[in-house]
Structure 1
Amino acid sequence: MNKISLIFGALAMAATTPLAAQPRGDEPVAVPRSIKQGIDFVYVDPQMANVAKRKQRPQNWLARLFDFGASRRSAPNPMFLDLARGLEHYQSTWGRLPQTKIPAGAVMKRGSTGKRVALLRTRLGLPAVGGYDEMLAQRVSDYQRVHGLGRPDGIAGRATITSLNLGATHYAKRIAINMERAYRLPQTRAFDRYVVVDSGAAETYLFDRDRKVDQMRVIVGSNETKTPMMAVLMRNAKANPYWHVPPDLVRTLTAKKVKEQGVSYFDNFHYEVLSDWSGNGRVLDPKSINWRQVAASKANPTFLVRQKPGPWNSMGQMKFEMPNDFGIYLHDSPLKELFAKEDRWISNGCVRLEDYRRFATWVFGQMPQASAPEQRIDLPRPVPVYMTYLTVEPSGSGVMFRPDPYGFDALAMPQMFDSRMNIAAVATDRAAG
């Protein structure tokens, strides 16, 4: 039975103040700066905060032995357990190597010799004598693969040396940060079904009775328009949705397009103009609006511009709504080719689904049939959606690190650790779990 010494703690859960009702379109609203998104979740629905007490003040991290095989009514999320095992493996492999510092210098590769090569060999657990041979190149490749340094090539360049000099403790702390995020995910038996959106991986996972039954690629927010870490209930979907253009984009973008292309822009790109945001607005002739004045104004317009349903619509064929103050939801996308790219951090914050039909079939039990524009389809039961951010992935050989596109790991380091808060060593004695 494996035991591991973990660091657990709870940071304050930040409640949000509802935003004043206003026309804002189908685009996200920035998360307030008071919410430290390195670790903190925004619990939109209080019943989902089942891991830590709300309003709990940050405390000193305490070492705790966790028994993987213990029988209990509920346990931390499976993603947490995988990371915990990954930490144990990392500490027993890469963490046991000499933490030798390697001075900056020229790129080292097969055939290189000298003092820096000897230090590199020592750092990776090889005898200092031997030069940059095939064995060292393989060790460098293994290190690059585990630590997310791009395509492993066995060449010790600047990025590889910088990573090695950060040391194993730095990476163990990154695993612990990701464990803390995963610890905020649902405990076992908390929900029958739930969704995890991982904006660190740009992937979405579907869980049924704590078992991952499906996953797909997603497109999430860019570094400038981050997808927030939050927990919310998905309550309905809308088939054949309109896209409501945010008022500031009408002023800064739509008006500019009309000036360049004329009012034919609306027909060409399937837009229409309504008198207001009430839901009962009159359709207006775009020619009746002074677009130059709209573009020059500092105030947002009160009329509504929306894109009609269809294969051209920015929302795609369906969007999945989760009431929240930040305008975040999941939706289809007409730009399917973007899901083949590795860089999928390009949205304005909302989550675009690779296969909305597969997602909808799982959510509803079958693919809903709808033909009317903006047809609302309520879920039989709300489905919890946890939007997290993981930069460490469990693997068959421990863990693999990913880039930190939002900089949340760097933000979380001082939240979780100071000079006295170091990860405890793996426990070897029998202690209470």
Structure 2
Amino acid sequence: GSILTDAALAIMKRISMADADGLRAADYKLPNPEILGPSQGTADAVADAEIILSLAVLTYTRNARIGRIQPDRVSALITLDPQAPDRLEVLTGLYRSRHPAALIANYNPSHEEFTRLRDLLAEMRGDTPGSAGLKPLRPGLALRSGVRGEQVTLLRRHLGHPDPAIDADLFDAELLIAVKTFQGANGLLPDGIVGPRTRKAINGPTPVNQEKAVLVNMEQWRWMPEDLGAFHVRVNIPEFRLRVVRRGQVMHQTRVIVGKPHQKTPVFSDEMEHVIVNPYWNVPLSIKRNEMLPSLLANPTGFTARHNYEVVYRGRPVPASSVNWYSVNLRAVNIRQRPGPRNALGRVKFMFPNQHSVYLHDTPTKSLFTQDIRAFSHGCIRVQNPMGFADAILDNEPNLDVNDLKALE
């Protein structure tokens, strides 16, 4: 026997399974039931066990909900703000719950992607029935776009790429991007074909790197808002793709262009507030200073006319030649590109005011969407099919549709 209740033992058993959640069971100190028999059930022993278990519960639920690492410790460009669970609510909920082990497990993300990653982690570790760990890709014919088979499914596992809802054994466009990304990161020709060299690199000496990739992705899902909303837009930066999701179903998707490796697109969540048709492009300070200034010094009038820019000082447009570009404080001078077919933002931009000053927008440079690796912007997200995207997001607006936007062009 033990002084620990059945509920306490169930909680301890669930916390001891934390490794399966992508956490570390060793991080949570638990009472030792073997030294808490009835004869040792003193008041001090009971109090110590209660404190130890309560601390373990609070630490586990916090890690399960918001992760073990603060997002901004990884990068200042990750400004997601996961909210830790209220400690009193956690303990009160456990006290009232008839299923306390399930209650604490539910502090893990409920997103489908997290669940699929957890299943993939179990498979890679050999924790699922009939699984013996992640097998290496077999030598043989190259795997390429359009191929089907169990080796394609295994390839997804190695790359930490969760199965799609259908056709998990099909080498599809998303898997092609994942292969090219892997090849580029490992010094291989990014042709999207899994031949001998790519197969050898993917197999590696151990599956440790693949497991780490899954664990990192699980941690990132803990940073995401607990509730993304029944209707939301999601940009998968490394996949270069945008999706509009309604009640778990993708109702629209399109290619996007994201930030260059040295000007990365930030990771955050915000609410879209409005759409601007025929926008001005207000040139960011970094671009004025690092890219435009030499041309402004050489020929301000010709440069601004050629690109349809206008210079605004103290709220009024002024001739570019009237500014002393050698000494002016560039923060005090606004350079903006007028609406038009060559405007860097294209015909429309989608606004969700944020600390990074990035947004979704059209672009006149459509040819870049044919590239598989589409990291060309200064951080904003360029949308291949902006009016199709607008049509999807305006589906919830009873008094506005995409034709209203087109009428303003």
Same fold, judged at TM 0.5 (above)? yes
Q: Aligned residue pairs: how many? A: 289
Residue of structure 2 equivalent to 1:131: none
Residue of structure 2 equivalent to 1:431: none
Residue by residue, what CA displacement relative to the aligned partner does 1:302-343 show, whole Å, maximum 9, x if unpaired? 121110011211111111111221112111111111111012
Q: Which consecutive unaligned segments of at least 5 residues does structure 2 have?
A: 1-16, 24-62, 88-100, 145-150, 160-178, 184-189, 396-400
SS at match of 2:208: helix
Residue of structure 2 equivalent to 1:136: 139
Pairing of 1:388-407 with structure 2 (within 5 A): none
Residue of structure 1 equivalent to 2:218: 179
Residue of structure 2 equivalent to 1:246: 284
Instruction: Answer yes or no: is 1:164 the counterpart of 2:203.
Output: yes
Instruction: Answer yes or no: is 1:355 the counterpart of 2:394.
Output: no
Change (3 A) 1:252 1:80: closer
Instruction: Answer yes or no: is 1:369 the counterpart of 2:401.
Output: no
TM-aligned CA deviation for residue 348 of structure 1: 1.2
Residue by residue, what CA displacement relative to the aligned partner does 1:351-402 show, whole Å, maximum 9, x if unpaired? 11111111111222221635899x9xxxxxxxxxxxxxxxxxxxxxxxxxxx
Q: In structure 2, what is the Cα distance between the partners aligned to 1:331 and 1:234?
A: 12
Q: Which consecutive unaligned segments of at least 5 residues does structure 1 have?
A: 15-33, 44-48, 56-65, 99-122, 126-134, 376-433
Provide TM-score, normalisation by structure 1: 0.57
Residue by residue, what CA displacement relative to the aligned partner does 1:15-36 show, whole Å, maximum 9, x if unpaired? xxxxxxxxxxxxxxxxxxx542
Residue of structure 2 equivalent to 1:11: 68
Q: In structure 2, what is the Cα distance between the partners aligned to 1:301 and 1:5?
A: 51
Instruction: Answer yes or no: is 1:282 the counterpart of 2:316.
Output: yes
Pairing of 1:158-237 with structure 2 (within 5 A): 160-187=199-226, 191-237=229-275
Instruction: Answer yes or no: is 1:256 the counterpart of 2:291.
Output: no
Instruction: Answer yes or no: is 1:154 the counterpart of 2:169.
Output: no
Q: In structure 1, what is the Cα distance between the partners aligned to 2:246 and 2:141?
A: 40
Q: In structure 2, what is the Cα distance between the partners aligned to 1:87 and 1:353?
A: 33
TM-aligned CA deviation for residue 138 of structure 1: 4.4
Residue by residue, what CA displacement relative to the aligned partner does 1:171-195 show, whole Å, maximum 9, x if unpaired? 122112212223444556x622111
Identity %: 23
TM-aligned CA deviation for residue 349 of structure 1: 1.1
Picking from 355, 369, 382, the partner of 1:325 is: 355
- Does the Cα contact within 8 Å between 1:144 and 1:160 map onto a contact in 2? no
Change (3 A) 1:187 1:263: same
- Does the Cα contact within 8 Å between 1:95 and 1:169 map onto a contact in 2? no
Using CA pairs under 8 Å that are at least 6 residues apart, name the structure with larger relative contact order, 1 or 2: 1
Change (3 A) 1:39 1:180: farther
Q: In structure 1, what is the Cα distance between the partners aligned to 2:155 and 2:393?
A: 38
- Does the Cα contact within 8 Å between 2:20 and 2:121 map onto a contact in 1? no
Residue of structure 2 equivalent to 1:304: 334
- Does the Cα contact within 8 Å between 2:368 and 2:374 map onto a contact in 1? yes
Q: Which has the larger radius of gyration?
A: 2
> Structure 2: which amino acid aligns with 1:350?
C
Picking from 114, 117, 126, the partner of 1:83 is: 117
> Structure 2: which amino acid aligns with 1:96?
A
TM-aligned CA deviation for residue 154 of structure 1: 3.4
Change (3 A) 1:53 1:12: farther
Q: In structure 1, what is the Cα distance between the partners aligned to 2:271 and 2:143?
A: 45
Report the RMSD for the aligned CA atoms in angstroms: 3.9
> Structure 2: which amino acid aligns with 1:76?
S
> Structure 2: which amino acid aligns with 1:172?
E
Q: In structure 1, what is the Cα distance between the partners aligned to 2:334 and 2:203?
A: 54
SS at match of 1:230: coil
Residue of structure 2 equivalent to 1:393: none
Change (3 A) 1:124 1:289: closer
TM-aligned CA deviation for residue 242 of structure 1: 0.5
Provide TM-score, normalisation by structure 2: 0.60
SS at match of 2:376: strand
Where is the helix percentage greater, Structure 1 or Structure 2?
2
Q: In structure 1, what is the Cα distance between the partners aligned to 2:203 and 2:107?
A: 41
SS at match of 2:390: helix
Change (3 A) 1:248 1:171: closer
Q: Which moved more, 1:171-180 or 1:243-252?
A: 243-252
Q: In structure 2, what is the Cα distance between the partners aligned to 1:239 and 1:221?
A: 23
Change (3 A) 1:227 1:138: same
Pairing of 1:61-80 with structure 2 (within 5 A): 76-80=110-114
> Structure 1: which amino acid aligns with 2:132?
R
- Does the Cα contact within 8 Å between 1:220 and 1:352 map onto a contact in 2? yes
SS at match of 1:137: coil
Q: In structure 2, what is the Cα distance between the partners aligned to 1:166 and 1:290?
A: 61
- Does the Cα contact within 8 Å between 2:300 and 2:321 map onto a contact in 1? no
Change (3 A) 1:304 1:54: farther
Residue by residue, what CA displacement relative to the aligned partner does 1:162-217 show, whole Å, maximum 9, x if unpaired? 543351132122112212223444556x6221111111211112111122222211
- Does the Cα contact within 8 Å between 1:266 and 1:272 map onto a contact in 2? yes
TM-aligned CA deviation for residue 288 of structure 1: 1.6
Q: In structure 2, what is the Cα distance between the partners aligned to 1:54 and 1:335?
A: 48
- Does the Cα contact within 8 Å between 1:11 and 1:40 map onto a contact in 2? no
Q: In structure 2, what is the Cα distance between the partners aligned to 1:289 and 1:261?
A: 12
Q: In structure 1, what is the Cα distance between the partners aligned to 2:355 and 2:116?
A: 32
Residue of structure 1 equivalent to 2:175: none
TM-aligned CA deviation for residue 13 of structure 1: 5.0
TM-aligned CA deviation for residue 74 of structure 1: 11
SS at match of 2:120: helix
SS at match of 2:245: strand
Change (3 A) 1:326 1:53: farther
TM-aligned CA deviation for residue 79 of structure 1: 2.1
Q: In structure 2, what is the Cα distance between the partners aligned to 1:191 and 1:81?
A: 18
> Structure 1: which amino acid aligns with 2:21?
L
